[in-house]
A and B are shown apart, each in its own frame.
Chain A
Amino acid sequence: MSLAWSFYLSTVLVYLGVDVMACWGLNLQYGYTGILNFSFIIYQSAGAYTAAVLTLGPATAGSFQQYIGGANLPFPLPVIAGGIAGGLLSAVAGVIALRRLRSDYQAMVFLVISLIATAVVTSDVGLFNGPAGLSIIPQPLSTALNLSLVGYRWFYVGLTAVICLIVYAFLRLITSAPLGRSFRAVRDHEQGAAALGKNVTGLRMTSFVIGGVIAGISGAVLVEFISAWSPGGWLYQETFVLFTALIVGGTANNAGAALGALLVPVAFLEGSRFLPQFGPPGLIDALQWVAVGLLTLIFVWFWPRGVLPERRRIIKLPGLQQAGTGRPRPVDYEKTAETR
């Protein structure tokens, strides 16, 4: 494999791992618990900034980038800290926004929270170096391992894969436990869930914060690889890409989320990189977004449940003759849940 290809492929794979984790996090919040978190991107950013700051070391007075905090922590501490930062920020946002509100208003509140966060980070230069963002972030273990440039990249691919597996295992524990059912109960009919003794607000917060932690981890993993992060690259549209990924791939199941991450941010957006450069700069970018928008509309129209819809969980009941394990009839269950 040529050097350029190797470089490119390893980069795509790291992005894939990061996007898969991000989709899993958003899926827990939206697919399982029904939270319309349009601010997801800021928890990823929080994780990225935290990890960056903890890897860069303290900001010196004359240096070209200013930021708060700073330490020279070894891997994997910055990533863990990134997860915690994502969790903390989502706890704050959750306290503000997770309440009984009609669904489109709630989506708006989240959207505005993300706009506020972006505005704050962009304008307060002392926080995370303002619009320029942070850069030249040392990559974890690079000196310790002393690999070639390409070798290091493949090492990082392996690292990302391991972290993905850990996140997946963690998610599996949660969604396959009765807790996962409680999340879905809150999603399907929050009043019905409360009538069964479930603390709806508490469940929402739990799901939201866990999703935020995963978002933070994914941001941290990415920033340690690409060595830079600026607010302009992580705007509310990025959350929309993740939602499109979930719509395309299928919600409330981790396989669907992973597939969505593969198809949308990776295959669709990266794939367009191979198109010959045409037109003025920025044209391809703009057309990419048009395409994402169209893709969303097409899927919402034709296949709203996505490529891998949420599957029915079949439970064997002792001592009963059961039928009903055939092809499930399609159900638009969201319709009934929405008419509150």
Chain B
Amino acid sequence: MTSVQRQLTTPAAQAALLRVDDLAKSYGGVHAVAGVSFDVPRGRITGLIGPNGAGKSTALGMIAGAIKPSQGSVLLNGTNVAGWPSHKIARRGLARTFQQSSDFAGMTVTENLLTARYGQRGDTLRGALLGRRYWRAEQESLTARAADVIARFDMARMANELAGSLSGGQRRLLEIMRALMTEPEILLLDEPMAGVNPALGERIEDYLLQLKQDGLTMLMVEHEMAVVERLCDPVIVMAQGEILAEGTMEQIRSDQRVLDAYLN
């Protein structure tokens, strides 16, 4: 059986929303990621950690379609999306945040949220030319939904501020809110706590736990061990392009290979 055929045959595999198989990326002769395989189970926050240069962000980039894999498969709900352009993968229900916030700085918070949903009526040339009457109703319901999201994340004060004028942490929050507007199946977070002040960081953690309770699946690359400990289960450790260990945080912490990797 090929690795791809191995997929939906075990109960464990069926519980995985995302299945990465033998995914690799090399630049010239350098192996940034050397054939990694792991599952991202439904409804949990999976952590992806490791020292600098471990290949975590590259792996994330390959899953999201920003980087073209050299080999391997990425099964999202059973469909192999490896090598697809990122906008096509996004339309399949994968949302992501970026290390340096990807919010649209020239638009307000509300506009950022409104532009998130794919397939809006007024979003094609034909739809736009058909005029307000064609797309207005849908926009109104989207606006109501945006209002809900804004209220939930306590951003009402900033609703009509330009995203570029928000603080770093607020922009990170906006990115997450925007991802939610797409009603994703899975949310990829690339170092969400980097550069965020601790108070706002705590709030973001609370929101992420709430989302987990709502049933959202997440894969999070993160540096801060404390955050990973509080939020993630399972945790995958990468180093030098390969997976060192997988398991709960306690298991990871007592794994000798992991300790070696971090100490080096």
Q: How far is the CA of A252 from the CA of B111 in the complex (A)?
A: 15
**Chain A: number of interface residues, binned into ranges:** 35 or more
Q: Does A63 lie at the interface of the complex (its beta carbon under 8 Å from any beta carbon of B)?
A: no
Q: Does B86 lie at the interface of the complex (its beta carbon under 8 Å from any beta carbon of A)?
A: yes
Decide if A322 touches B159 in the complex (CB within 8 Å).
Answer: yes
* Residues of chain A lying within 8 A (CB to CB) of residue B90: 194-197
Decide if A310 touches B123 in the complex (CB within 8 Å).
Answer: no
Q: In the complex where A176-B132, A189-B102 touch, is A194 in contact with B159 (Cβ < 8 A)? A: no
- Distance in Å from the Cβ of A312 to the closest Cβ of chain B? 6
Q: Does A314 lie at the interface of the complex (its beta carbon under 8 Å from any beta carbon of B)?
A: yes
Decide if B121 touches A310 in the complex (CB within 8 Å).
Answer: no
Q: How far is the CA of A188 from the CA of B107 in the complex (A)?
A: 9
Q: In the complex where A191-B98, A194-B87, A333-B164 touch, is A181 in contact with B115 (Cβ < 8 A)? A: yes
Decide if B96 touches A181 in the complex (CB within 8 Å).
Answer: no
- B116, B121, B127, B151: the one within 8 Å of A196 (CB): B116
1/0 contact string of B111-130 vs chain A (CB within 8 Å) = 10011101111111101110
- B108, B129, B158, B165: the one within 8 Å of A313 (CB): B108
* Residue in A closest to B108 when the chains form the complex, CB atoms: A312
Decide if B86 touches A195 in the complex (CB within 8 Å).
Answer: yes
Q: Does B162 lie at the interface of the complex (its beta carbon under 8 Å from any beta carbon of A)?
A: yes
Decide if A314 touches B108 in the complex (CB within 8 Å).
Answer: yes
The segment out of B43-51, B140-148, B238-246, B247-255 that lies at the interface is B140-148
* Residues of chain B lying within 8 A (CB to CB) of residue A325: 160
* Residue in B closest to A209 when the chains form the complex, CB atoms: B125
Decide if B160 touches A177 in the complex (CB within 8 Å).
Answer: no
**Chain B: number of interface residues, binned into ranges:** 35 or more
Q: How far is the CA of A215 from the CA of B163 in the complex (A)?
A: 32
- A174, A195, A312: the one within 8 Å of B160 (CB): A312
Q: Does A328 lie at the interface of the complex (its beta carbon under 8 Å from any beta carbon of B)?
A: yes
Q: Does A60 lie at the interface of the complex (its beta carbon under 8 Å from any beta carbon of B)?
A: no
Decide if A198 touches B107 in the complex (CB within 8 Å).
Answer: no
* Residue in A closest to B85 when the chains form the complex, CB atoms: A194
Q: Does B66 lie at the interface of the complex (its beta carbon under 8 Å from any beta carbon of A)?
A: yes
Q: In the complex where A191-B86, A196-B178 touch, is A177 in contact with B103 (Cβ < 8 A)? A: no
Q: Does A106 lie at the interface of the complex (its beta carbon under 8 Å from any beta carbon of B)?
A: no
- Distance in Å from the Cβ of B136 to the closest Cβ of chain A? 10
Q: Does B26 lie at the interface of the complex (its beta carbon under 8 Å from any beta carbon of A)?
A: no
- Distance in Å from the Cβ of B122 to the closest Cβ of chain A? 4
* Residue in A closest to B178 when the chains form the complex, CB atoms: A196
- B100, B127, B139, B159: the one within 8 Å of A317 (CB): B159
Q: Does A329 lie at the interface of the complex (its beta carbon under 8 Å from any beta carbon of B)?
A: yes
Q: Does A324 lie at the interface of the complex (its beta carbon under 8 Å from any beta carbon of B)?
A: yes
* Residues of chain B lying within 8 A (CB to CB) of residue A189: 102-105
- A200, A312, A323: the one within 8 Å of B157 (CB): A323
Interface residues in B145-177 by Cβ distance below 8 A to A read 146-147, 150-151, 156-165, 175
* Residue in A closest to B166 when the chains form the complex, CB atoms: A331
Decide if A337 touches B105 in the complex (CB within 8 Å).
Answer: yes
Q: How far is the CA of A76 from the CA of B159 in the complex (A)?
A: 46
Decide if A198 touches B87 in the complex (CB within 8 Å).
Answer: yes
- Distance in Å from the Cβ of B107 to the closest Cβ of chain A? 6
Decide if A315 touches B111 in the complex (CB within 8 Å).
Answer: yes
1/0 contact string of B40-81 vs chain A (CB within 8 Å) = 000000000000000000000000111000000000000000
Q: How far is the CA of A176 from the CA of B128 in the complex (A)?
A: 8
- Distance in Å from the Cβ of A154 to the closest Cβ of chain B? 32
Q: Does B131 lie at the interface of the complex (its beta carbon under 8 Å from any beta carbon of A)?
A: yes
* Residues of chain A lying within 8 A (CB to CB) of residue B115: 178, 181-182, 184-185, 196
- B100, B119, B128, B143: the one within 8 Å of A174 (CB): B128
- B66, B100, B127, B147: the one within 8 Å of A319 (CB): B147
* Residues of chain A lying within 8 A (CB to CB) of residue B135: 177-178
* Residues of chain A lying within 8 A (CB to CB) of residue B106: 184, 187-188, 252, 310, 331, 333
Q: In the complex where A191-B102, A324-B160 touch, is A315 in contact with B143 (Cβ < 8 A)? A: yes
- A179, A196, A199, A322: the one within 8 Å of B122 (CB): A179
* Residue in B closest to A34 when the chains form the complex, CB atoms: B106
Decide if B182 touches A196 in the complex (CB within 8 Å).
Answer: yes
Q: Does A281 lie at the interface of the complex (its beta carbon under 8 Å from any beta carbon of B)?
A: no
* Residues of chain B lying within 8 A (CB to CB) of residue A313: 107-108, 111
Q: How far is the CA of A170 from the CA of B128 in the complex (A)?
A: 10
Decide if B124 touches A179 in the complex (CB within 8 Å).
Answer: yes
Decide if B151 touches A195 in the complex (CB within 8 Å).
Answer: no
- A179, A312, A322: the one within 8 Å of B128 (CB): A179
Q: How far is the CA of A252 from the CA of B162 in the complex (A)?
A: 15
- Distance in Å from the Cβ of B101 to the closest Cβ of chain A? 8
Interface residues in A197-225 by Cβ distance below 8 A to B read 197-200, 206, 210
What are some 17 contacts across the A-B interface (CB < 8 A)?
Answer: A176-B132, A177-B127, A178-B123, A179-B128, A185-B115, A188-B107, A193-B104, A194-B86, A195-B87, A195-B95, A197-B91, A197-B182, A317-B147, A329-B165, A331-B106, A332-B164, A333-B162
Given contacts A179-B124, A185-B107, 7 further A-B contacts (CB under 8 A): A174-B125, A178-B121, A188-B104, A312-B108, A322-B156, A324-B158, A337-B105
Give me the interface of A with B, judged by CB distance under 8 Å: 170, 173-174, 176-182, 184-185, 187-189, 191-200, 206, 210, 252, 310, 312-315, 317-325, 328-329, 331-333, 336-337, 339
User: What are the nearest 3 A-B pairs in CB distance?
Assistant: A192-B102, A333-B105, A197-B118
